[in-house]
Amino acid sequence: MVIGNPKGTIRNGESWLGNRSYGDLPMNLVAGRSGVYAQWNFCRDGGLLRFNARESLWLRNSAGMPSLAMFRFGSGSASLERTSIARLRQGDERDEKLNRPIIVVYGPGHEHLKEILKIMHCPGQVIMARDLHELEEILPMAEIVFGWKVPPHLYGKACHLKWVQSMGAGVDDLIANPDLSPTVMITRIVDQFGPIIAEFVFAELLADVRRLDLARQQQSQKIWKPFAVGSLQGQAIGIAGLGSIGRELVRKARVFDMVVYGLSRSAKPGLVDFGFTPAQWPEFVRSLDYLVLTLPATAETQYVVNRTILRAMKPQAIIINVGRGEILHQGDLVDALHQGEIAGAVLDVFETEPLPPEDALWKLPRVRISPHIAGPSLDEQVARFFVANVLRYLHHEPLQGVVDRERGY
């Protein structure tokens, strides 16, 4: 067996132990936080070595043959076994490790997911891509991607992909991606973001009605000057979109004794005080003090809140967008605010993110801007959702959160 020069991909926190050999087999050994990595290149005429590894990472060439392997094993002894490439080519059905689906995880800000998935006993070979370079390298192996903010074009590399589990609720980018084959199943996280988004919305509503900004401003200047404050009680809140997020908003609005209006495609009898359909936007918004948008971005919802709808609102009304930027026509909103057609806006999502520095919205005094943080994907929650779905996938059961590409969510 000829062994090429080992490639070095030593990760943060790991130290290089240098070249070692097992019998006649030189390789690189790297001490990691949770074990030892051995790594070497395979050559065309080479054989395959197998460790009793706790974990392995396989990179294959375009013909599907292994070109690089990385094994991690505990500090105990490792047993080696030579397997011929020919045998591997035929497919070794008995090799459970090779037959488990390869799950590629990528999500900026979610670096601990791999450990969490391990604690949760996620089945499959979980490989965490820590940067875009690694992601590009391992995507061709992926059967499953558990991802967030994967650059759309990289899906073109995922030639074995069967399923993408988004870490978020909105999947408009995945649906619109021409590099993601329509045969790949998409699932999104459902039934998890309601409580956290509701906290954001009511934090903003309470801050508005109790004028918390003014209190802090006076405090910073040591001013003691009582001022009038309002209350949410009896105020009209309209929730556009009555999925799991909208329904949680309804539940919390009732706790604050608000009058609840709702707009959804399907009638939800008994859920809200006044229900409307998408054909009734002007009637829906007419009496609202607060309009909360939780809708997904689809062909049907694009710019559904435009100048006509903004004009139909009360001048004291405030609009809150925690859905997608494309629902609300931003230019029309700026005009409506300038003209005093509505009183303010709380915006967590935008047509272009990050919101460009030159955007007029930054300077409008009654606009509160946040950087798409209303509904963060909390590692533990999304991991639990995903692991349950992987188990369903392996048992050929229907998954949770399957996206209907036609419907758009």
Site residues (vs ligand GLV, CB under 6 A): 168-170, 375, 377
How near is the Cβ of 170 to ligand GLV at its closest, in Å?
3
DSSP character at residue 296:
-
Instruction: Name the residue with tokens 């509160």.
Output: 368
In angstroms, what is the minimal distance from the CB of 24 to ligand GLV? Answer: 52
Long-range contacts of 171-180 (CB under 8 A, 24+ apart): 171/296, 171/403, 171/409, 172/296, 172/297, 172/298, 172/324, 172/326, 172/408, 172/409, 174/403, 175/403, 175/405, 175/408, 177/152, 179/152, 179/153, 179/154, 179/155, 180/152, 180/155
Taking the least distance from each CB to ligand GLV, the nearer of 168 and 238 is: 168
Comparing CB distances to ligand GLV, the nearer of 326 and 341 is: 326
Nearer to ligand GLV, 194 or 275 (CB): 194
CB of 302 to ligand GLV, least distance (A): 16
Specify the residue, 140 or 168, whose C-beta has the smaller distance to ligand GLV. Answer: 168
Name the residue whose CB lies closest to ligand GLV.
Answer: 168
For the CB of residue 408, give the shortest distance to ligand GLV in the complex, in Å.
13
Residues 6+ apart with CB under 8 A from 208: 318, 344, 346
- Least Å distance, CB 169 to ligand GLV, is 4
C-alpha 401: how far from chain center = 13
145-175: b (≥16 Cβ within 10 Å) or e: bbbbebeeebbebbeebebbbbbbbbbbebb
Quick one: 6 or 243, whose CB is closer to ligand GLV?
A: 243
Q: Which is nearer to ligand GLV, 275 or 375 (CB)?
A: 375
CA distance 106 to 147: 5
Q: Give the nearer residue to ligand GLV in terms of CB position, either 262 or 325.
A: 325
In degrees and rounded to multiples of 5, residue 68 shows phi and psi of -150, 135
How near is the Cβ of 375 to ligand GLV at its closest, in Å?
5
Q: How far is the CB of 325 from ligand GLV (least distance, A)?
A: 10
Q: How far is the CB of 180 from ligand GLV (least distance, A)?
A: 16
- Residues 6 or more apart whose Cβ sits within 8 Å of residue 144: 101, 102, 103, 104, 124, 161, 162, 163, 164, 165, 390, 393
Cβ proximity to ligand GLV, 246 vs 375, nearer residue: 375
Distance in angstroms (rounded) separating the CA atoms of residues 408 and 382: 21
